[in-house]
Structure 1
Amino acid sequence: MKNITLNLFLLLLFSHSVRAQWTLVWADEFNTDGRPDPKNWKFEQGFVRNQELQWYQPENAYCRNGMLIIEGKREQKPNPNYKPNSTNWKESRPTIDYTAASLQTRGLHEWQYGRFEMRGRIDARPGLWPAFWTLGVQGEWPSNGEIDIMEYYRGMLLANFAWGTDQRYKAKWDDLKKPLTEFNDPEWSKKFHVWRMDWDEKSIKLYVDDQLLNEVDLEETYNGDQERKNPFRQPHYLLLNLAIGGMNGGDPSATQFPSRYEVDYVRVYQKK
């Protein structure tokens, strides 16, 4: 019994010591009802990437009862950028059939290394593609580096890293796909969970509820072009978004809308 008590004490002491290394440097707790704080977040607008079905607009994101709510809706309106003969997918659609929101800290807040946490609840129904991720501030994708701390689609939770190759716009991926069924909890997607990234100059580790999902050694993430920069040794900014359909999101046609991606907080810690 004494050994068990001693081991518990040492574990608690170690846990406290680990936490004591980190200092909170930025957070949004979403405690003020209304629009998200413009000092923290900017919005992407329109059709943006991956041939996704949603039109991003600020009005689909709001704070209520201590939560950021990103709402996906099925609603039809004219595409203001429509060009009948265009081969560009952003212009060839005559109508907008879904709307959602994408928030980012780009140009407002950026960080190099630290612990990044998001507590949230995702909607795991078909066609929905919520994410919490980062992009590097310098360079074009993927040579700027992408870190998917949380991404979900088609029944799978993803934890990914992407960086540049010797071909422009072609990424090198280190990805992890974990089916939700592996959590052995049919109510998993109805609950709040904590996604975390621990990032330093040597490695990046991605977790959900303290379970390690994926990690990468930063000696393996140099871009494959002539510059050979390492995109994970530069500042990154955060993104929170709800995508619908597109290249990976699946078919939302049988899903009832609105859909909600709820975020309790986003916090960034750095070493003292």
Structure 2
Amino acid sequence: MSVVTKGLLLLALFSFNFYSANAQWKLVWADEFNMDGKPNPANWKGEQGFVRNHEQQWYQDANAYCKDGKLIIEAKREKVINPKYVANSSHWKENREYSEYTSASIITAKKQSWQYGRFEMKAKIDTRPGMWPAFWTLGNEGQWPENGEIDIMEYYRGDLLANAVWGSMEQYKGIWSTTKKPITEFNDPEWSNKFHIWRMDWDEKSIKLYVDDLLLNSIDLEKTYNAKDPKKNPFRQPHYMLVGMAIGGDNGGDPSKTEFPAKYEIDYVRVYQK
């Protein structure tokens, strides 16, 4: 058998195996963002105000909109009044009279949730200082982190992250499986100007997190039982999605020299199951 014939046979076998494996997945839900205006309220609701991680942005609905077949999450440098301001308060949600930034985070909680499947997003993220875009999930039941968190994509300070977190013995302190990949390792100076595909393959045995088919993290679900309640595995329950862009906060970095507005552009979000 010639080298050429062997090569063609190997290519045909690879193609058969690839398409056979992917043929098992059936699309069960998607948002293609093809209707201009607000995100579909049957799928999404917006988070409001100061929410988590000591972030600098004020979340508001106006900063998430669909245009030309894409969901745009737009962060702005603009001053908005904090209605929960309390003079001399030590709480981070109350001790700022104003927010200097606005952005959006939209979630599918109490609207759409899934247990297991292939979750996929095609998006272009802003990687400048202070930006913290994310595509992630939380479990429907339980208090964080006992409900489980999966970070299919988050980015800050030069790194892409692919994480999962579950409950430890301490309240509000999680056990993390974390990987970081500096975007400089892609050796593409235009990487941040391009759309990429983030994917999670999740079943009862494992969670695998990818970018552009590159495996970033693999989590064995036999190792993710909550420490306080070893019978509870937060990744064996339905999860809902969150898509948003934070600014600054615990991890995002300093946005003060970044030019705004900043945009996180999502072409689609899809869920497949077998």
Q: What TM-score results when the alignment is normalised by the length of structure 2? A: 0.98
Letter in 2 for 1:85: N
The residue that corresponds to 2:150 in the other structure is 147
The residue that corresponds to 2:137 in the other structure is 134
Describe the superposition over 1:168-226 as per-residue Cα deviations: whole angstroms up to 9, x where unpaired.
Answer: 11100010011111111111011000000000000000000000000110000000003
The residue that corresponds to 2:266 in the other structure is 263
Displacement, 1:228?
Answer: 3.5
Distance 2:35 2:229 in 1: 47
- Provide the secondary structure at the position in 1 that maps to 2:13: helix
The residue that corresponds to 1:110 in the other structure is 113
The residue that corresponds to 2:248 in the other structure is 245
Aligned-residue Cα RMSD (Å) equals 0.7
**Uncovered stretches (5+) of structure 1, i.e. residues with no partner:** none
Distance 1:145 1:210 in 2: 24
Identity of aligned residues (%): 66
Distance 2:124 2:270 in 1: 16
2:26 aligned with 1:23, yes or no?
yes
1:70-219 alignment, distance < 5 Å: 70-219=73-222
Displacement, 1:87?
Answer: 1.2
Residue 55 (structure 2) aligned to one of 43, 52, 56? 52
Displacement, 1:15?
Answer: 1.2
- Provide the secondary structure at the position in 1 that maps to 2:94: helix
Describe the superposition over 1:61-114 as per-residue Cα deviations: whole angstroms up to 9, x where unpaired.
Answer: 000000000000000122111000211110100111000000000000000000
**Uncovered stretches (5+) of structure 2, i.e. residues with no partner:** none
The residue that corresponds to 1:38 in the other structure is 41
1:7-22 alignment, distance < 5 Å: 7-22=10-25
Distance 2:110 2:166 in 1: 21
Letter in 2 for 1:69: I
Describe the superposition over 1:131-174 as per-residue Cα deviations: whole angstroms up to 9, x where unpaired.
Answer: 00000000000000000000000000000010000111110001
Letter in 2 for 1:206: L
Distance 1:95 1:236 in 2: 33
Distance 2:155 2:171 in 1: 26
Distance 1:227 1:87 in 2: 36
Displacement, 1:227?
Answer: 5.2
Distance 1:198 1:187 in 2: 27
Distance 1:134 1:76 in 2: 30
Larger mean Cα displacement after TM superposition, 3-12 or 251-260: 3-12
Distance 2:173 2:64 in 1: 31
Q: What TM-score results when the alignment is normalised by the length of structure 1? A: 0.99
Larger mean Cα displacement after TM superposition, 7-16 or 142-151: 7-16
